[in-house]
Structure 1
Amino acid sequence: MSGLQGAPRRVGLLGIYHETNTFIESATTLADFRNGYWLEASQIRDEYQGANHEISGLIEVIDSAPDMELVPVFYAMATPGGLITRDCYLALLDRMMQLLDQAGPLDACLVAPHGAGVAEGCLDMDGHWLLLLRQKLGIDVPIIGTLDPHANVSQAMADATDGLIAYATNPHIDQKQTGIAAARLLVNTLRGEISPVQLLVKPPVAISIEQQFTSNQPCLGLYALAQELEQRMALVSVSVLLGFPYADVHEMGSGFIVIADRNQSLAAVGQAEEAGSILSAFLLDRKRAFNGKKSGIDAVLDDLVNHLQPVLLLDMGDNIGGGAPGNSTLILEQLEAGGLSGFFVCLYDPESVEKCQDVSAGAVVPLFLGGKNGFQTSVEVLALQDGRFTEDTPRHGGFVHYDMGATAVVRTPSGNTVMLTTRRTPPYSLRQLTAFGLDPRGFRGIVAKGVNAPIAAYSDVCPSIIQVDTPGVTQADMTLFTYQNRKVPLFPFEESV
């Protein structure tokens, strides 16, 4: 505690943010965080102030409170990928603790974890670093923060914090609003206006990834119930946790975080428990709807004529936002084989970009698209770009600055346009096309390496949206993966829940 009477309350801000897919062979290293977001002290404010990220909301609220002072400490984020190496995680922890020591005494702390981070030897990474933070700050310093709804929340995460609030949309377009809600909760807690009590509820259901679109059923009904309970029972917050199926951890699966106010009611804990029970029963009752049905490439392409164009084809098995490499050519190969033209595909393919850079626009180059074992063809080089662009509207992830690295745009023999990048970049912004002179409305279809996140970027120009059940490290059917650590029973793996 700062301990100075009349002085502003010092509120720290920090986070280690990663969505870890444990079914990917390649590890996430320190270089991935360095190439992502590694922000210290004032760099955090420089990157996010006025943007659409949860940190933007956290900053806005604390800055507007005359009795609060924001102390940005550390924020590190890497693109979703494989298991974080032990050395990387220890380096992140070491730097965070160093900067905390340098920051001086804190009266409270705002945190921005993802909630699905997994490190080598530390399966509950977020629970681990949050508990270390709690031990360092002590039990009397409020710790409140945000979560991605794809978090696999552990009891350790809940025990280490006074309140966690998840985004309420997927695609995530309410991140700033979530940051505002979390920061307001912190301010009110510091002022003694709220005494939060937090409850984590984990029903034995894992929600299939393609059913996690919050604007459609079955999620629509679940979120409506959560909002209704929050209002009717005068709860501080009710968060739905959709879970992240691609992490082989005990906590994998759905859940709910309910926050009540001890100051408002002596029965606060009971109210939170009642709300959690109602939500769990609702989910269990409708568990089959949350598992959904899947459509493969052949079925989707055969049915394309029945959909308004451009069609957004979501390549679920190669979902970059779920950690996949972003280099699968399966849909592209089917388009080429069927003589289907006028489609756009973006691939992570540094080797092909390098070969394109050796020639000028208009040249024809033989390539293995997607890597050495990819799709062999010859393409016409249309353009070479530096791959940088910006996004100023709320999109999934809340990112402002994008850097795809050196980028080549090529045309295939069947007349499909392929963007090749040297950095793995999730399709969260329409600017990925428009910033480089490509008109999304001019294509018959756009293949996006995602499941729900790209919808926020492309729905304005794509009247038809189809989720394609492709194979890969983010394939939609989670029962095809081999888990060692998940809880049992858990639907859809076991029926007896």
Structure 2
Amino acid sequence: MRIFTAAMATETNTFSPIVIDKRAFEASLYAPPGTHPDTPTLCTAPITVGRRVCAARGWTLIEGTAAWADPAGLVARTTHEGLRDEILEQLRAALPVDGVMLGLHGAMVAQGCDDPEGDLLARIRTLVGPEVAIFAGLDPHSHLTAKRVAAADVLIAFKEFPHTDFVDRAEDLWRLLADRLEGRIAPVMSVFDCRMIDVFPTSRAPMRGFVDRMIAMERGPVLSLSVIHGFMAGDVPEMGTKVIAVTDGDPALGARIAADLGAELFANRGRHLMPALTPDQAVARARAAPTGPVVIADMWDNPGGGTAGDATVILHELIAQGVTGAVIGTIWDPIAVQLCFAAGEGAEIPLRFGAKSAPDTGAPVDARVRVLALNPTAEMRFGDSRVPFGPAARIGFAGVEVILNTVRAQGFDPSLFTAMGVDPMAARILVIKSTNHFHAAFAPIAKDILYCSAGKPYPNDPATTPYRHVRRDIWPICPDPFCDQP
């Protein structure tokens, strides 16, 4: 068997002013054929798992380019088309192939193209013909378009949020691809549109039990079940929550299961997201805790959702309440980092940092700071992945420490702090910029976890977000999208 594999992935916040160009991919991951590292990124696990699977079976794996950029705004047209055409040319050179395995995110939006993944899949289908198996992995915070479903044989999304299972889902993809190529199954996809916009953390009820039951249902003719959560910061026509059921040649069964699961999600709409505190409430509660560390999640200034990650709202509140022993990880400010590197470790300098990217991110901080640590290649762990966030600087002032970073990344793991010389267990308060991906790694060490809604750098209320392209017959824009009235 000859299998072609490649990855083209990023998550586009269409409200973000930060345009993604080729340099953004190069800063995160741009790996031409054969140069992908042994460890996967979030969306490239199909490549690293594929190496192992194909080696064990004696199959030929032809690797194309793998590209991942940390989430931001629209992808530049030349960057999108350049990466797309690069992969298509590599596939054309590899023909004939028996299968195509792709690592995608699913929420990419480019200048002039609302559906880059659908465009890529459709072009691949045209190249390889109707008989070649096309499988792809997706992030659940994506947009499941009709074009993608028509072009692919199997689409599987991560089940967990935080996405701790991205390698597991890649293994599912390869297992089903092997069964398909060796004639044991004839997979078909069925999709149910839940007509809703919501957030579905699987670290808490009701989504925790829902995912556990979904996994238990994957047996016999039910090959795979996925929930596409949707990505509320993507203003595209087909945004929203959907359920995918992959069955062994039984689309009617798949349709029934997808509809039942989708109806359950819709019945719980608005109950999935974790409760959030205001900045003054979160800081006061963390400050009152008898022991630390208490984790405050700045949930809407999340670079993993396409924001800059430079909001200072919680930092200003810490200062206002006179908190000491807090460490902020991170505030994105490449200029401030450059100034800290020029001054050197141990230097004391006047510094203005933060709140440069957009409204509703607070005000820049002006302080005389000490440069406590510098790391030109700072990175943190995320499961089997390594996530760069450096060059980075750690500064201290007024009893508070702040990690300033150059490469935007949300807080996934306590190694964010240890990479900069901080013992997270010794801190009273740890502030991280993440909606929920941090939870799996921080829950074992945190005395308490507080979710804080601080400002609106991210469009977090779909009922009032000024969408231009999102359909109107979707909850909460429409109170009852399943009513029969127009």
1:144 match: 135
Distance 2:259 2:352 in 1: 53
1:364, 1:174 → 2: CA distance? 43
Q: Is the contact made by 1:469 and 1:475 (CA closer than 8 Å) also made in structure 2?
A: no
SS of corresponding position for 2:63: strand
* Post-superposition offset of 1:340: 0.7
Report the equivalent of 1:17.
Answer: 9
**SS of residue matched to 1:157:** helix
Aligned residues between the structures: 472
Give me the TM-score of the superposition, normalised by structure 1: 0.90
1:484 to 2:475 alignment: no
One-letter identity of the residue aligned with 2:391? A
266, 277, 281: which is aligned to 1:299?
281
For residue 195 of structure 1, what is the aligned residue in structure 2?
186
Deviations 1:313-335 (A, max 9, x none): 11122101111101111100110
Q: Name the SS for the 2:156 alignment partner.
A: strand
Give the match's secondary structure for 1:441: helix
5+ residue gaps, structure 1, are 1-8, 263-267
Q: Who is 2:302 aligned against? A: 319
What is the identity, as a one-letter code, of the residue corresponding to 2:269? Answer: K
Alignment of structure 1 residues 162-311 onto 2, 5 Å = 162-208=153-199, 212-231=200-219, 234-262=221-249, 268-290=250-272, 293-304=275-286, 305-306=288-289, 309-311=292-294
CA deviation vs aligned residue, 1:357-390 (integer Å, no higher than 9, x gap):
2324333211112156611122111122213346
2:85 pairs with 1:94: yes
For residue 350 of structure 1, the aligned residue among 334, 350, 365 is: 334
| Alpha carbons of structure 1 residues 341 and 53: separation in structure 2 relative to 1, 3 Å | farther
Question: For residues 260 and 357 of structure 1, do their structure 2 counterparts lie closer, same or farther at Cα, with a shift above 3 Å needed?
Answer: same
Report the alpha carbon displacement of residue 472 of structure 1 after superposing the two structures with TM.
2.8
How far apart are the structure 1 equivalents of 2:85 and 2:389? Answer: 29
1: distance between equivalents of 2:374 and 2:11?
31
Contact 1:24-1:82 at 8 Å conserved across structures: yes
Aligned to 1:172, what secondary structure does the other structure show?
A: coil
What is the aligned partner in structure 1 of residue 478 from structure 2?
A: 494
Match of 2:104, SS state, is coil
Partner residue in 1 for 2:368: 378
SS at match of 1:303: helix
- 1:61 is displaced (CA, Å) by 2.1
Letter in 1 for 2:385: F
User: Gaps spanning 5+ residues in structure 2: where?
Assistant: 357-362, 482-486
Q: Is the contact made by 1:62 and 1:183 (CA closer than 8 Å) also made in structure 2? A: no
Distance (whole Å) between structure 1 residues aligned to residue 151 and residue 164 of structure 2: 27
- Cα distance, 1:361–1:224 mapped onto 2, change above 3 Å: closer
Shift of 1:47: 5.2
The answer as to 2:48 corresponding to 1:56 is yes
Cα separation, 2, equivalents of 1:383 and 1:148: 35
CA–CA distance in structure 1, aligned partners of residues 416 and 439 of structure 2:
14
CA 1:303/1:476 → structure 2, altered by over 3 Å: closer, same or farther? farther
Change (3 A) 1:52 1:462: farther
Taking the aligned partners of 1:298 and 1:478, their CA distance within structure 2 comes to 24
Q: TM-score, normalised by structure 2?
A: 0.92
Instruction: State the superposition RMSD in angstroms.
Output: 2.1
CA distance in 2, matches of 1:432, 1:276: 39
2:484 aligns with none
1:106-117 matched pairs, under 5 angstroms: 106-117=97-108
Tell me the percent identity. Answer: 28
Q: In structure 2, do the counterparts of structure 1 residues 241 and 297 end up closer, same or farther at CA, with 3 Å as the change threshold?
A: same
